[in-house]
Homo-oligomer: A and B are copies of this chain.
Amino acid sequence: MMIEANYRNFAPLETPLLGFLSQSSGIATKARVVTEAAGENPVFHFGSRRMHPSIAPMIGRSAFIGGCDGVAVTKTAKELGLDPVGTIPHALILLLEDSTTATGMFEEIYGEEVNTVALVDTFGDEKFEALENADLIDGLNAVRLDTPSSRRGDMLEIAQEVRWELDLHGFTDVNIFISGGLDEESIPELNEVADAYGVGTAISSAPVVDFSLDIVEIEGEPVSKRGKKSGAKQLYLCEECNQRLVDSFGAGKKKCTGCGGRAEPFMKPLLKNGKLVKSYPSPEEIKTYSASQPFL
């Protein structure tokens, strides 16, 4: 998708602005795609470790406004006004030598404020580690399957087998949380058995959305290079069918080319005489607004 940034004053901030828009839009778009794939199940953003640390807050914020239900980096969560999310790491289990010991300690210390999630693929098979944790930890909220790729022959079958065994032994309240290399391709078939997902790399290193800033008007006259439409543009939204249309800036109201309904100008001024004329929405508001738009 090539989106033209439509501006009238050529500014020295071209490159930084474009870089921010291209990358953050790419991440938010991917977060929307992945969370749509997950349906009703929550998706938590786990993948800050694949990109440079100085952009972790941008990545987390973009993932959140695009639809993720929580983020794992503490600082990012704080800036978004959220509690960070996460589960026991493999490292803790390796140090304590046992999955149930680690889960038990976690439950003892944090159990009252936080849901306890057992990580069940460190030493043993998911099926048996899940049963042992459910047996030993009262109030266990979920087991997390982060199966390494060499053991991931059929993730759906593994999860179904864990679900079967938990149910057979009476642990119908223990949820199944799946993570590890997930994306919009692999998630949909897991929805029948999964209760939540952790998604990392697929969102963090999403493809950029290709913005560019081009001169399209000089002193009020439309002009542009080969390959670009000249003149400032307005975006129109059809009130009836949600179709978006592009036309030149002063074109006024339009008839929707899709349904014949009334299309209204969509872009509102953010700056006037160099001053903000609109209060900037919170991440929560952006997320809510974005979720209300149709998913194309």
Task: Tell me whether B123 and A226 are in contact (CB under 8 A).
Answer: yes
Task: Tell me whether A201 and B210 are in contact (CB under 8 A).
Answer: yes
Residue picked from A124, A151, A227, most chain B C-beta under 10 Å: A227
Is A248 engaged at the interface, CB distance under 8 Å to the other chain?
yes
Which chain B residue shows the least CB distance to A257? B192
Task: Tell me whether A158 and B154 are in contact (CB under 8 A).
Answer: no
How many interface residues does A have (CB within 8 Å)? 68
Closest chain-B Cβ to A27's Cβ sits at a distance in Å of 10
Contact of A151 among B20, B158, B205, B230 (CB under 8 A): B158
**Those of A122-180 within 8 Å (CB) of chain B:** 122-125, 127-128, 147-154, 157-158, 160-161, 164-165, 168
How far does the alpha carbon of A208 sit from the alpha carbon of B55 in the complex, in Å? 14
**Those of A196-244 within 8 Å (CB) of chain B:** 201, 205, 207-208, 210, 212, 214-215, 218, 222-231
Is A3 engaged at the interface, CB distance under 8 Å to the other chain?
no
Task: Tell me whether A168 and B90 are in contact (CB under 8 A).
Answer: no
Task: Tell me whether B205 and A208 are in contact (CB under 8 A).
Answer: yes
How far does the alpha carbon of A124 sit from the alpha carbon of B227 in the complex, in Å? 11
Which chain B residue shows the least CB distance to A229? B164
Contact of A225 among B56, B94, B224, B230 (CB under 8 A): B94
Q: B residues within 8 A CB of A158?
A: 150-151
Q: B residues within 8 A CB of A276?
A: none
Residue picked from A125, A150, A157, most chain B C-beta under 10 Å: A150
How far does the alpha carbon of A31 sit from the alpha carbon of B208 in the complex, in Å? 18
Q: B residues within 8 A CB of A128?
A: 123-124, 226
Which chain B residue shows the least CB distance to A18? B49
Is A41 engaged at the interface, CB distance under 8 Å to the other chain?
no
Q: B residues within 8 A CB of A218?
A: 94-95
- Contact digits for A108-134, partner B, Cβ 8 Å, 1 yes 0 no: 000000000000011111011000000
Q: B residues within 8 A CB of A22?
A: 49-51
Contact of A53 among B15, B51, B150, B153 (CB under 8 A): B15
Contact of A205 among B16, B157, B207, B222 (CB under 8 A): B207
Task: Tell me whether A54 and B54 are in contact (CB under 8 A).
Answer: yes
Is A73 engaged at the interface, CB distance under 8 Å to the other chain?
yes
Q: Which 7 A-B pairs have the closest CB atoms?
A: A148-B227, A16-B53, A150-B157, A152-B153, A18-B49, A150-B154, A164-B229
